[in-house]
């Protein structure tokens, strides 16, 4: 009997992969919500008109899983884990029951960390869960004029862009605690390109903001900060995520940030696997562990655990932190490490950047940055931004980083050319590699 606690991306993928490997294993998923696998940025999709209902951001269907002989119990929350007896306590509505397992998979994801200043205020809206997004959407549909977004990382920037598209008349301000927007996400070259687009879209932002208190004031929310008092009709907090480790505290060894301590097969105990947003993962190619709550990471940790449980293969996963996001008409792609990771390694990271032509996309420009090992010239990371849809480059960037390609190899790598297709005799990655070698 395999019991899976959590029916989001890691939990469902683990169930599906185990079923492929073992047609007869008994598999049960317990999920506390009424749905399986809600995409956390579903609100952004709706605001941009990509979907018509938030429910379209739910990716998994209970009946489809049941057709594969995967038992699913929604609105079922795990209260306690007992590794000694190999049992879990599940609450379903007003009833509790004890479930025995042979293998336990814990995939209960992350939670949005509350700000000390907002405790009890009920003035700050969130976007991570379906319930959060529905509540936020209802408020946005009211007659509001000024909106503040707490957090200038990827989620905050994407949200600001979606809000501008949804309600062009909104006064939108981003408040960021770090000294720069996207401080931990992308290089300054990419940030500058995004900020230029934000300025053209009349998005205000303040950095170095420390929110000291949030109070209600005649229907509006008033924020007291280290840079003065700000008043808005609505405050939306971009996700500040941490592992949802509450039920694990007395059962499984946790790191200082609340992530679970596991082996390379994501085992925390002999029969317990912990997946997805509950973990810190090695960032390839530098192998230092970071907290990277990404859906693609959740899915791949599930693959590793499923193969180990089934005894079929020994798989290994290190994340390249490959990610795509879009804001203000730009598509941004990133993979691997950057210069901000130097404090975790013993060598320096060199950087080259430039603006090149995407010959296959009507000569659109692409802002590109490569990060290079100073001794070996291996490509440690690549980032790019363009008004063209460059999302397909994410997989290419990831392969280059994972394959530890050197700058010399990238300079002459044979990207295809054919006069009948949209291509060019040299690729922008050839060009930035050559520029790096001639600096």
Burial of 309 (0-12, 13-18, 19+ CB in 10 A): buried
Q: Which of these, 357, 413, 351, lies nearest to 382 by C-alpha position?
A: 351
Domains in the chain, ordered, with CATH?
2-41+57-111+242-310 (3.50.50.60), 114-237 (3.50.50.60), 323-437 (3.30.390.30)
User: Residue length, the chain?
Assistant: 439
Residues 121-170 pLDDT 10s: 578 899 999 999 999 999 999 999 999 999 999 999 999 999 999 999 99
- pLDDT tens per residue, range 46-104: 999 999 999 999 999 999 999 999 999 999 999 999 999 999 999 998 899 999 999 99
Contact indicator for 409, 386 with CB cutoff of 8 Å = no
334 has which bridge partners? 323, 383
pLDDT over 90 (residue 312): no
Q: Measuring CA to CA, which residue among 167, 192, 3, 162 is closest to residue 88? A: 3
Q: Cα–Cα–Cα angle for 45, 183, 331, nearest 5°?
A: 35
Q: What is the pLDDT at residue 360?
A: 65
Cα dihedral 173, 178, 179, 180, rounded to 10, equals -60
CA–CA separation, 103 and 109 (whole Å): 18
In the structure, what pLDDT confidence band is assigned to residue 423 with cuts at 50, 70 and 90?
low
How far is Cα 428 from Cα 406, in angstroms, rounded to an integer? 16
Q: What is the pLDDT of residue 94?
A: 87
Q: pTM of the predicted model, to two decimals? A: 0.92
Q: How far apart are CA 125 and CA 59, in angstroms?
A: 24
Residue 38 has pLDDT above 70, yes or no: yes
Q: Which tokens is 8 given?
A: 């989001």
Beta-bridge partner residues of 235 = 124, 148
d(CA 96, CA 314): 36
Three-state secondary structure of the chain: CEEEECCCHHHHHHHHHHHHHCCCCCEEEECCCCCEEECCCHHHHHHCCCCCCHHHHEEECHHHHHHCCEEEECCEEEEEEECCCCEEEEEECCEEEEEECCEEEECCCEEECCCHHHCCCCCEECCCCHHHHHHHHHHHCCCCCEEEEECCCHHHHHHHHHHHHHCCCCEEEEECCCCCCCCCCCCHHHHHHHHHHHHHCCCEEECCCCEEEEEEECCEEEEEECCEEEEECEEEECCCEEECCHHHCCCCCECCCCCECCCCCCEEECCEEECHHHCEEEECCCCCEEECCCHHHHHHHHHHHHHHHHCCCCCCCCECCCEEEEECCEEEEEEECCHHHHHHCCCCEEEEEEEEEEHHHCCEEEEEEEEEECCCCEEEEEEEEECCCCCCHHHHHHHHHHCCCEHHHHHCCCCCCCCCCCCCCCCHHHHHHHHHHCC
As a whole number, the mean pLDDT across the chain is 93
* pLDDT of res. 362: 65
What is the structure's pLDDT at 263?
95
Higher pLDDT, 155 or 120: 155
Q: CA-CA distance, 166 to 17, in Å (whole number)?
A: 38
Pick the range with the lowest mean pLDDT from 81-90, 183-192, 216-225, 399-408.
216-225
* pLDDT at residue 417 in the model: 79
Q: Is 265:274 a contact under the CB 8 Å cutoff?
A: no
Least confident of 310-314, 360-364, 423-427, 434-438: 360-364
Q: What is the predicted pLDDT for the residue at 425?
A: 77
- Cα–Cα distance for residue pair 17/22, rounded to 1 Å: 9
Please report the sign of the dihedral spanned by the C-alpha atoms of residue 268, residue 270, residue 274, residue 280. Answer: positive
Peptide bond into 285 cis (omega under 30): yes
pLDDT at 120 over 60: no
Percent above pLDDT 90 for the chain:
84
Q: How far apart are CA 133 and CA 125, in angstroms?
A: 8
94/68 Cα distance (integer angstroms): 29
Task: Record the tokens describing residue 126, joined without a space.
Answer: 């969130």
Span 243-266, pLDDT tens digits: 999 899 888 999 999 999 999 999
Q: What is the pLDDT of residue 355?
A: 94
């Amino acid at each position: 009997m395999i019991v899976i606690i959590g029916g989001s991306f890691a939990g469902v993928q683990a169930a599906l992969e185990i079923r492929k490997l073992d047609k007869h294993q008994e598999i049960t998923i317990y999920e506390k919500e009424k749905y399986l696998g809600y995409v956390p940025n579903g609100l952004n999709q709706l605001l941009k008109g990509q979907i018509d209902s938030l429910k379209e951001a739910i990716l998994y269907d209970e009946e489809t899983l049941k057709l594969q002989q995967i038992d699913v119990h929604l609105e079922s929350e795990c209260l306690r884990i007992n590794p000694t007896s190999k049992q879990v306590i599940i609450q379903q509505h007003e009833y509790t029951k004890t479930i025995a397992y042979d293998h336990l998979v814990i995939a209960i994801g992350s939670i949005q960390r509350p700000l000390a200043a907002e405790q009890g205020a009920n003035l700050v809206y969130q976007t991570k869960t379906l319930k959060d997004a529905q509540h936020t959407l209802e408020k946005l549909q009211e007659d509001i004029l000024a909106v503040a977004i707490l957090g200038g990382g990827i989620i905050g920037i994407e949200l600001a862009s979606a809000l501008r598209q949804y309600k062009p008349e909104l006064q939108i301000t981003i408040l960021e605690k770090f000294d720069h927007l996207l401080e931990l996400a992308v290089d300054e070259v990419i940030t500058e390109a995004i900020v230029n687009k934000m300025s053209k879209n009349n998005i205000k932002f303040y950095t170095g903001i420390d929110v000291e208190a949030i109070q209600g004031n005649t229907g509006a929310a008033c924020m007291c900060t280290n840079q003065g008092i700000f008043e808005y009709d609505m405050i939306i907090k971009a996700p500040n995520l941490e592992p949802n480790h509450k039920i694990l505290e007395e059962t499984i060894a946790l790191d200082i940030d609340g992530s679970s301590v596991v082996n390379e097969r994501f085992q925390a105990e002999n029969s317990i696997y912990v997946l997805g947003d509950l973990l810190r993962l090695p960032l390839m190619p530098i192998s230092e562990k970071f907290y990277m709550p990404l859906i693609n990471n959740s899915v791949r940790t599930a693959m590793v655990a499923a193969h180990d449980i089934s005894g079929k293969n020994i798989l290994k996963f290190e994340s390249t932190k490959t990610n795509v996001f879009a804001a203000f008409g730009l598509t941004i792609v990133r993979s691997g490490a950057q210069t901000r990771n130097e404090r975790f390694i013993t060598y320096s990271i060199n950087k080259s950047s430039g603006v090149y032509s995407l010959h296959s996309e009507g000569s659109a420009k692409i802002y590109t940055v490569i990060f290079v090992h100073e001794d070996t010239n291996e490509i440690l990371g690549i980032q790019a931004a363009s008004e063209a849809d460059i999302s397909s480059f994410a997989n290419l960037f990831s392969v280059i980083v994972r394959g530890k390609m050197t700058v010399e190899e990238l300079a002459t790598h044979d990207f295809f050319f054919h006069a009948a297709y949209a291509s060019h005799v040299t690729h922008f990655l050839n060009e930035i590699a050559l520029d790096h070698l001639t600096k």
